[in-house]
Amino acid sequence: MTSFVGHLIILFIIGVVSLIFHELGHITASRWNRAEQIYLIIGAGKQIFTFTIGRLIVRIQQLFFMHFVTVSNRDKTYTSKERIVISIMGPAFSILLAVFFYSLFYFYFSVYVVYIGFLFNIWLAFFNLIPLKIGQKATDGYIIYKTLTNSR
C-alpha cells in the first residue's frame, strides 16, 4: 500500500511538472514573438494567488492539477506563422522532457516511475496535437488546424 501511495504522489508530481514544462514551451514562443503580456493559469476554481515575473503573470487556482493554460497578448495581431509556432512549442517541450525522462531511465535509473514520466510526456505531446475542441477548451492541434484552414 505504501508503495502504491508513493507512486501516486510521484506520478502526481511528474504530471504537474510536465504540464508546467509544456506551458513553458508556449511561454517561450510567446516571448520570442514579443508578447506584451503572458498569462500562465494553473488550476481551476477559485483563485488562490497571483504573482508577476516581468511580462509573465502567473495565476494559481485551487485545483492546481486540473487545468493549465497559457494566453499571450500584444497590440499587433499574431500572424498565422506566429500562432502556429506558439501552439507547437508546448508539444515540442513535452517531447524534450520525454527524451530527458527516457535518457534518465535508460542510462541512470531503470525505475518504473521515471519510465511513466517518459510515457506521460509522449502522450501529452501527441494528444495535444490532435485537433479537438470541447466547449471553450481547444488542443494545440485544434489551434494549428484552425489557423491553417482560416489562412487560406
pLDDT tens-digit series, residues 72-90: 999 999 999 999 999 999 9
pLDDT classification of 108: cutoffs 50, 70, 90: confident
Per-residue pLDDT tens digits for 38-64: 999 998 889 899 999 999 999 998 877
- Domain coordinates in residue numbering, the chain: 2-34+78-150
Summarised one tens digit per residue, pLDDT across range 123-140 is 999 999 999 999 888 999
The DSSP-derived string for the chain is -HHHHHHHHHHHHHHHHHHHHHHHHHHHHHHHTT-SEEEEEEEEEEEEEEEEETTEEEEEEEEEEEEEEEEEE-SSPPPHHHHHHHHHHHHHHHHHHHHHHHHIIIII---HHHHHHHHHHHHHHHHHHS--EETTEE-HHHHHHHHHHH--
152 confidence band (pLDDT: 50, 70, 90): low
